[in-house]
């Protein structure tokens, strides 16, 4: 039987999720240690750290592996443009329940001496399990829990995704999407089984990557947006002084969407609660 708990992953950030306690929580705690180790190592190398907020699940007509490919392409292009002083925490590099992340899951199971049969008998992790992990990584900093290990967030946008599809050399987006779709049908059995001879799924795929395909359409990204906003609110409150009664804007986390820094009018009201409860 699944037992969920409505709690704050970090006590002084007003965000609640539901997650499993027990074996899966132990595994996620090991994953937190691994990711935090990589973040601290990048800081020791004097890097500026950005978190990449990107769709991963297949919600809305997308395809998980395509989302992973887009996220890795965005990471590559950002590092080419920004250079060696930056390090990007890309969540697709730390998946555990995908084919790419199976090694991490087995590593944690071995470390904790967890039998695979016991884990298989439990409900699968939900969005709340994952967002507990990412909230702790993004917020906790051994100082004031204002996310001070990070310099900013980059939220993937539609133009980021479109640049990935244009790798085929197509002259317009329709041709680029169709070229990618045809190639995946020919080489990816899972993709072929999902989309071939299914007109509705094919249309949803082309629609998602043609006019959506951004953090705006991802529940997890909505959670990360709320974390970003709450951390900046907290930073402003901590910086309030007689000279700066409204806080210090120079202490805010930087935020980018689709290649550009956020418009100053950007507000969290347009976002769902994501996996928050």
Q: Are 165 and 177 in contact (CB under 8 A)?
A: yes
Of 193, 249, 215, 211, the closest CA to residue 56 belongs to: 215
For residues 205 and 99, state if they share a domain. no
Q: Are 105 and 97 in contact (CB under 8 A)?
A: yes
In which band, very low, low, confident or very high, does the pLDDT at 92 lie, cut at 50, 70 and 90? very high
In which band, very low, low, confident or very high, does the pLDDT at 57 lie, cut at 50, 70 and 90? confident
Three-state DSSP at 100 gives coil
pTM: 0.92
Taking residues 203-214, report their average pLDDT: 94
For residues 169 and 235, state if they share a domain. no
For residue range 104-145, list pLDDT tens digits in order: 898 999 999 999 999 999 999 999 999 999 999 999 998 999
Q: How far apart are CA 60 and CA 203, in angstroms?
A: 11
Give the list of residues 6+ apart from residue 277 with CB closer than 8 angstroms, or none.
6, 16, 17, 18, 128
Give, in degrees to the nearest 5, the angle at Cα 114 between 110 and 120: 120
In a domain, 276, yes or no: no
Assess whether pLDDT exceeds 60 at residue 7.
Answer: yes
For residues 233 and 115, state if they share a domain. yes
In a domain, 200, yes or no: yes
For residues 190 and 140, state if they share a domain. no
| Residue whose token pair is 């507990």 | 132
In a domain, 277, yes or no: no
For residues 193 and 79, state if they share a domain. no
Assess whether pLDDT exceeds 80 at residue 54.
Answer: yes
Pick from 175-179, 206-210, 222-226, 270-274: least confident:
270-274
For residues 66 and 120, state if they share a domain. yes
For residues 94 and 66, state if they share a domain. yes
* Structural tokens at position 88: 């990007």
In a domain, 143, yes or no: yes
Domain that holds residue 223: 4-157+215-270
For residues 99 and 31, state if they share a domain. yes
For residues 85 and 72, state if they share a domain. yes
In a domain, 130, yes or no: yes
Q: Average pLDDT of the chain?
A: 90
Q: What is the pLDDT of residue 167?
A: 78
* Structural tokens at position 50: 């950005």
Of 85, 96, 84, 75, the closest CA to residue 27 belongs to: 96
Asked which of 196, 213, 230 is the last residue of a domain, the reply is: 213
- Residue by residue, DSSP assigns 61-77 as G--HHHHHHHHHHHHHH
* Structural tokens at position 243: 């000279």
In a domain, 275, yes or no: no
For residues 44 and 66, state if they share a domain. yes
Q: How many domains does the chain have?
A: 2
Assess whether pLDDT exceeds 50 at residue 1.
Answer: no
For residues 207 and 222, state if they share a domain. no
Assess whether pLDDT exceeds 70 at residue 264.
Answer: no
Three-state DSSP at 223 gives helix
Assess whether pLDDT exceeds 70 at residue 2.
Answer: no
Q: What is the pLDDT of residue 186?
A: 95
What are the φ/ψ torsions at residue 112 (nearest 5 degrees)?
-95, 0
For residues 253 and 153, state if they share a domain. yes
Q: How far apart are CA 86 and CA 271, in angstroms?
A: 28
Q: What is the pLDDT of residue 175?
A: 94
In a domain, 167, yes or no: yes
């Amino acid at each position: 039987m699944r037992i969920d708990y409505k709690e704050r992953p970090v006590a002084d950030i007003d965000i609640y999720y539901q997650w499993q306690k027990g074996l899966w929580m132990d595994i996620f705690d090991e994953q937190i240690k691994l990711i935090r180790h990589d973040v601290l190592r990048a800081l020791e190398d004097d890097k500026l750290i950005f978190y990449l907020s990107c769709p991963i699940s297949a919600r809305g007509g997308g395809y998980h592996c395509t989302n992973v490919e887009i996220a890795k392409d965005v990471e590559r292009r950002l590092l080419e443009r920004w250079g060696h002083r930056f390090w990007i925490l890309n969540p697709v590099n730390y998946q555990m329940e995908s084919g790419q992340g199976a090694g991490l899951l087995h590593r944690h199971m071995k470390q904790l001496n967890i039998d695979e049969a016991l884990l298989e008998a439990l409900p699968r992790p939900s969005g709340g399990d994952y967002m507990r992990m990412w909230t702790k990584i993004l917020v906790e900093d051994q100082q004031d829990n204002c996310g001070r290990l990070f310099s900013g967030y980059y939220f993937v946008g539609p133009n980021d995704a479109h640049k990935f599809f244009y790798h085929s050399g197509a002259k317009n987006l329709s041709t680029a999407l169709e070229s990618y779709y045809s190639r995946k049908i020919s080489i990816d059995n899972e993709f072929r089984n999902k989309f071939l001879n299914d007109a509705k799924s094919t249309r949803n795929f082309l629609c998602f990557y043609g006019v959506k395909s951004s953090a705006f359409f991802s529940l997890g990204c909505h959670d990360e947006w709320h974390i970003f906003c709450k951390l900046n609110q907290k930073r402003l409150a901590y910086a309030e002084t007689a000279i700066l009664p409204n806080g210090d804007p120079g202490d805010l986390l930087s935020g980018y969407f689709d290649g550009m820094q956020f418009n100053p009018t950007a507000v969290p009201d347009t976002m769902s609660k994501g996996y928050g409860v």
